[in-house]
Chain A
């Protein structure tokens, strides 16, 4: 489907497709459709165990969910919540990589259920709702 792309040497930069990208319509569509970037928050610890050591934070993980690598944390002082999913090597997509989710305290539904790495509301299932420590960024 994208055989013409394979012949073109180019570097993907999401917001700034280079001129050669526009020479082929299929290539242009490819640039527009490209996804998989999560968002980044350097304030989060790479190791979630370190989060529980920070002032105010406690772990609220459901025991069965914890067995699946899903952990939950709450800051008793600020009311902030964080969720952490342990990456599972050998899988694809975000499932393969350690990431956080930050529930939106002012959410009114699924369209703004989470915050991205910069604190902007984003819908659930979306790529930016997956927040990464800079050391764990995996997309190019």
Chain B
């Protein structure tokens, strides 16, 4: 378990990372994520990296107060509807996380270039580091 404030200094490395999955159960959300490759020298804390030098794990968002997708609606059931999400933005401030996700489908599904901004306000947000998290590279 990582304090989100300490983890916050690594959120920029999630630019060009992957949103692996989203799970929502009642008022809790889990977001499985992987950062882009980073220089191990830049890891200043005891947060083990995955074999590909990325940060992998699960963002736990508990006691959710509000969810907005693309700034215009509250969503009760947050789902990953496309095959793959590339993280363009990952910011955390004042108990709110913001994700900018560029979506993609793999063949034979129809291609998409949809983009979503996901904003979640919650009472508690923390990071579970999982370096061996399954993240299928070969589709």
Residues of A at the B interface (CB closer than 8 Å) are 2, 30, 33-36, 60, 62, 64-65, 68-70, 72, 85, 88, 91-96, 101, 108-111, 123-127, 129-130
Contact = CB atoms under 8 A, between A and B. Distances in A.
B106 interface: yes
11 contacts: A33-B41, A35-B40, A64-B115, A109-B106, A111-B139, A124-B18, A125-B17, A125-B18, A125-B34, A125-B35, A126-B52
A68 B88 contact: yes
Contacts of A68: 88-89, 100, 117
Given A30-B41, A35-B37, A65-B100, A95 B15 contact: yes
Interface residues of B, number: 37
Contacts of B89: 68
Identify which of A62, A92, A96, A127 gathers the most chain B CB atoms within 10 Å of its CB: A92
Interface of B: 9-10, 12-13, 15-18, 34-42, 52-54, 70, 84, 86, 88-89, 100, 102, 106, 113-117, 136-139
